């Protein structure tokens, strides 16, 4: 059986199957933080999974504190095990689908930055709109929100969507050649590891098979961010339908 480090390495390789320039995307998020945040920034990693983005940021900003939020007991279990000895990392289990998620997670305002990758497409438009309002309240004045995720094509962009899909298929073919796991394959493997069976069953109870697919366009994100109180919001990096958007509070 793999240890937690190996599971996270396999996670990263599995995610690269779907996000062609995942490390570049992490770097861009760090680049924006370097411009906006103090060296001892308080960073919230929303839907942190096993902590991949937070680990890149903690390595790049040695005085920063990174709090990871997620509702998946398996992924948080891996993160907690690997980073147990690092006082700059904290982990909070809370469900963003619940209106009181940040209160239930005992999060207080004052974060310099909120970051997230490959996760907010799990939320519905209504949930996302509410979460964006919550984030504007959790950030300090001048703080930044950065979201790296796939965006849905607008209804009149069917041909552009097909081009993007064709390019993604090529990246997946390369991942097959490298032998990296698929999303389903990674979950099947860890479910079979006795060390994770109980957590995996709890995960199934919480999420079922869903990982939300309400198509949310870039225009929707940017409008929702502005309505939530962010004064500037735009794309700072893009690869096909994969974007990093940045939004600043006043
Ligand atoms: C594809 S993973 C990405 C994880 C990590 N950010 C990364 O880039 O490797 C999506 C993450 O969103 C989390 N997530 C989805 N819905 C959530 C919710 N309602 N509350 C908290 N976390 C959620 C999942 O548990 C999962 O960790």
Give the domains, in start order, of the chain with CATH numbers: 4-249 (3.40.50.150)
Whether pLDDT at 138 is above 70: yes
196: CA distance to ligand 1 center in Å? 18
Q: Is 128 in the pocket of ligand 1 (CB under 6 A)?
A: no
Give the pLDDT band of residue 225 (cuts 50, 70, 90). very high
Residue written as token pair 């320039």: 21
Q: Average pLDDT of 60-75?
A: 98
Percent of the chain with pLDDT over 90: 96
Nearest CA to 231 out of 222, 240, 239 is that of: 222
**Rounded Cα distance, 243 and 2, in Å:** 32
- Give the mutation target among 49, 78, 105 for probing the ligand 1 site: most ligand atoms within 8 A of CB: 49
> In whole angstroms, how far apart are CA 168 and each of 161, 162, 164, 174, 210?
11, 10, 6, 10, 22
Q: Which residues contact 151 (CB under 8 A, 6 or more apart)?
A: 216, 217, 218, 221, 241, 242, 243
Average the pLDDT over 200-225 and give the result. 91
| 149 C-beta neighbours (distance < 10 Å), count | 21
Strand partners, 15: none
**Phi and psi dihedrals of 3, rounded to 5?**
-90, 175
Looking from the CA of residue 101, the nearest atom of ligand 1 is: 20
Is the predicted pLDDT of residue 200 greater than 70, yes or no?
A: yes
Residue 173 above 90 pLDDT?
Answer: yes
Q: Which letter, b or e, does each residue of 58-67 get, where b requires 16 or more Cβ atoms within 10 Å of its Cβ? A: beebeebbbb
Q: What is the mean pLDDT of residues 18-43?
A: 98
> Distance between CA 69 and CA 1 in Å, rounded?
27
Instruction: Among 88-97, 190-199, 207-216, name the one with the lowest average pLDDT.
Output: 207-216
Length of the chain equals: 250
Phi and psi at residue 132, to the nearest 5°: -60, -40
- Cβ of residue 48 lying under 6 Å from some atom of ligand 1: yes
Q: Express as a percent the part of the chain with pLDDT over 70.
A: 99
- Per-residue pLDDT at 97 exceeds 90: yes
Q: pLDDT band at 213, cuts 50/70/90?
A: confident
- Position 135 pLDDT exceeds 70: yes
* pLDDT given for residue 1 in this prediction: 61
Q: What tens digit of pLDDT does each residue of 233-242 get?
A: 999 999 999 9
210, 121 contact by CB (below 8 A): no
Torsion angles phi and psi, residue 193, rounded to 5: -85, 115
For residue 212, the model assigns a pLDDT of 67
Residue whose tokens read 């991949």: 52
């Amino acid at each position: 059986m793999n240890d937690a480090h190996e599971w996270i390495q396999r996670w990263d390789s599995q995610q690269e199957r779907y996000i062609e320039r995942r490390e570049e995307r992490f770097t861009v998020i760090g680049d924006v933080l370097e411009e906006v945040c103090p060296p001892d920034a308080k960073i919230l990693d929303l839907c942190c999974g096993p902590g991949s983005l937070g680990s890149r940021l903690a390595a790049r900003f040695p005085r920063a504190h990174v709090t990871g939020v997620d509702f998946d007991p398996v992924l948080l279990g891996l993160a907690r095990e690997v980073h147990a000895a690092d006082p700059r990392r904290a982990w909070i289990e809370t469900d963003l689908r619940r209106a009181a998620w940040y209160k239930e997670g005992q999060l207080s305002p004052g974060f310099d930055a909120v970051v997230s990758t490959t996760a907010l497409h799990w939320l519905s438009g209504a949930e996302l709109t509410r979460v964006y309002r919550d984030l504007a309240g959790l950030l300090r004045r001048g703080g930044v929100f950065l979201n790296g995720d796939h965006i849905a094509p607008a209804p009149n962009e069917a041909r552009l969507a097909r081009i993007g899909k064709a390019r993604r298929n090529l990246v997946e073919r390369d991942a097959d050649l490298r032998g990296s796991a698929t999303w389903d394959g990674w979950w099947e493997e860890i479910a079979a590891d006795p060390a994770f069976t109980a957590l995996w069953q709890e995960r199934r109870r919480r999420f079922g098979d869903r990982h939300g697919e309400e198509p949310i366009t870039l225009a929707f994100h940017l409008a929702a961010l502005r309505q939530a109180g962010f004064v500037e919001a735009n794309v700072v990096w893009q690869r096909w339908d994969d974007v990093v958007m940045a939004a600043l509070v006043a």
